[in-house]
Chain A
Amino acid sequence: MSPELHNLIYRSALLIASFLFLVGLRGLSRPETARRGTHYAAVGMLIGVLGTLFHHDIVQYQWILGGVVLGTVVGVPMGLWIPMTKMPERIALSHAFGGLAVATVGVAEFLHEGAAMSRIAAGAVSFEVLMGAITFTGSLVAFGKLQGFITGKPLTFPGNNALNFILIGVAFVALGLLVRTPGDITIFLVICGLALVLGLLLVLPIGGADMPVVICLLNAYAGLAASASGFVLDNDVLIICGALDGGSGILLALIMSKAMNRSFGNVLFGAFGAVDATAAAGGSAVAVREASVEDAAELLKIAGSVIFVPGYGMAVGQAQHAVRDLANLLTANGTRVKYAIHPVAGRMPGHMNVLLAEANVPYDQLYELEAINDEFPQTDVVVVVGANDVVHPAARTTPSSPIYGMPILNADAAKAVLVLKRGMSVGFAGIENELFGLPQTQMVFGDAKATLTKMAAAFKGGHG
């Protein structure tokens, strides 16, 4: 085959891949078409990869084969066996891989082109490596925090933010210098090193509850890095996919931070939780009423309508199946059951939806905040499963509260509230939840899964 034909196949394959990626993404706008969309995109990826093998620079296959085989060996278990409750960890880890791939491509490209690089290319490649490496170490820290290897509490030291700003400044100055002298390996290495350190320093101060925003931002960084690599390599499919990935990450991060009523700046540099926890320690405890599982079951038996409010506690306790079992009994008893999903419930966007879908809860019973908030006053019982700050009335009523202004689920408006909780620990915002002290609220303490299972048993037992 002539080189022209090779190039034609290569370029056409990438064009077809880009088209199929967009078609696939469009499919995600509805649950009915989402799966088919994913299949289109997967076919697009296969075409793109096969077409790339026709690239005229590819003369040896042993390294490619090694990388693909190893990647498949790691990728298949990561796709098939990771439990749904570990999805945030899984996504953080894949951002780390994405950052690593893009950063190593950038380093290789820099070493190959060297001083022959144009100034624009040098700027793009250093931006690529900067973002890629920040994503790599930042995502590893996020993974460590979610997995519990690193404490979920914000890790800060005096001058942390100042140091971060200085390092970011130095990184951009170095980037500017490299544009002036494109082949300078020393400057390039400084940028690489700074980026790796920055990834650590930027994510370590961020608390566990802010992970939804951080994961989205790391997603955006990975996308921007991939786009930059497209500029360097003159590869349009990389630019397009990077733009889609980056756009998606930024959009989700905006939705998340809006749902917490906080700015990016506040999430990234606020070290939320560290300050508030100490303030709350001196505060007065809320007096609560405790209910037994039998009392709770009795209450549910006479309820005409029930709304479940799941939170991160449901994921930690893997209680989604137990929730569904109890909901089944309620539905069989003639009770109307719905689920209210707060956008930041859990550790990543859509976390609760995936868990409930795993437990076979039909998705037309899952309601977004705006869609269900007006229904709480007419609801007989709200069952809060491992959620705290997303049902915290202080967000509406107490201007001095750190979560004031955050849109919450108005569970306190319901006729009765059952709160399933491990103990009286404060939420991630580090403040006592006034909902727990309300006259219509009863606490059921214990492991969410065990409690729900016992409640279901008591519910059935009463029916004889």
Chain B
Amino acid sequence: MDFDHVLFALYIFMLAAFLGVQVIAKVPQLLHTPLMAFTNAISGVSLVASLVIAGAERGLVSSILGTIAVFAATVNVVGGFLITDRMLKMFRKKGGS
């Protein structure tokens, strides 16, 4: 990882953080709990890093650590999207019974 790489990564971080704050600031208080569940689900994208570690041939310790990470990230991805959807399903304008 050289300096140019880091600089490029910092650009991405800066732009994503700026864009993220702009978009998230528009989320109404009404949806703040689903927002937390949602960002939690997408941060489960660390699953993609875990997959590489669990699937690479780097010795037993690495495989075990990778599997723990795959497990934890999968819980967040699967559980996170399911619960976000379950919550959002409940929000409606004209209440039924």
Contacts and interface: CB of A to CB of B under 8 A. Distances in A.
Contacts of A16: none
Given A34-B91, A58-B56, A101-B46, A72 B78 contact: yes
Given A104-B69, A251-B25, A31 B46 contact: no
Contacts of B81: 38, 41-42, 45, 79
Contacts of B34: 28, 34, 38, 350, 354
A60 B67 CA distance: 12
Contact of A57 (B56, B71, B72): B56
Contacts of B66: 63-64, 67, 104-105, 108
Interface stretch (A172-180, A229-237, A412-420): A229-237
Contact of B32 (A84, A230, A231, A353): A353
Contacts of A237: 45, 48
B96 A71 contact: no
Nearest to A220: B39
A233 B67 CA distance: 17
Contacts of B72: 71, 97-98, 100-101, 104
Given A31-B30, A76-B79, A231-B6, A251 B36 contact: no
B43 to A, nearest CB: 4
B20 A243 contact: yes
B21 A245 contact: no
Nearest to A368: B29
Contacts of B71: 66-68, 70-71, 74
Contact of B38 (A41, A111, A236, A365): A41
Nearest to B96: A360
Contacts of A121: 1
Nearest to B83: A79
A233 B33 contact: no
Given A100-B69, A360-B95, A94 B79 contact: yes
A45 B42 contact: yes
Contacts of B29: 255, 341, 343, 349-350, 353, 368
Contacts of B24: 25, 244, 247-248, 251
Interface string A108-125: 110110000010110010
A348 B35 CA distance: 11
B57 to A, nearest CB: 5
- Which label, helix, strand, loop or mixed, suits the secondary structure of the B interface? helix
Interface string A28-47: 11110011001101101100
Interface in B8-64: 9, 12-13, 16-17, 19-21, 23-58, 61-64
Contact of B39 (A75, A249, A358): A249
A367 to B, nearest CB: 10
B30 A222 contact: no
A14 to B, nearest CB: 7
Contacts of A52: 47-48, 51-52
A383 interface: no
A80 B9 contact: no
B72 to A, nearest CB: 4
Interface string B73-88: 1111111111111111
Given A35-B89, A45-B41, A244-B39, A14 B48 contact: yes
A243 B6 contact: no
Which 7 pairs of residues, A with B, have the shortest CB-CB distance? A71-B74, A79-B82, A67-B70, A350-B32, A75-B78, A58-B55, A349-B32
Given A49-B47, A90-B83, A353-B31, 4 more contacts: A31-B31, A42-B41, A104-B68, A243-B17
25 contacts: A14-B48, A34-B34, A63-B54, A63-B63, A63-B67, A67-B67, A67-B68, A74-B79, A75-B80, A79-B81, A79-B83, A80-B82, A87-B33, A101-B76, A105-B69, A241-B46, A245-B40, A245-B43, A247-B17, A252-B32, A349-B29, A350-B36, A351-B33, A357-B92, A358-B90
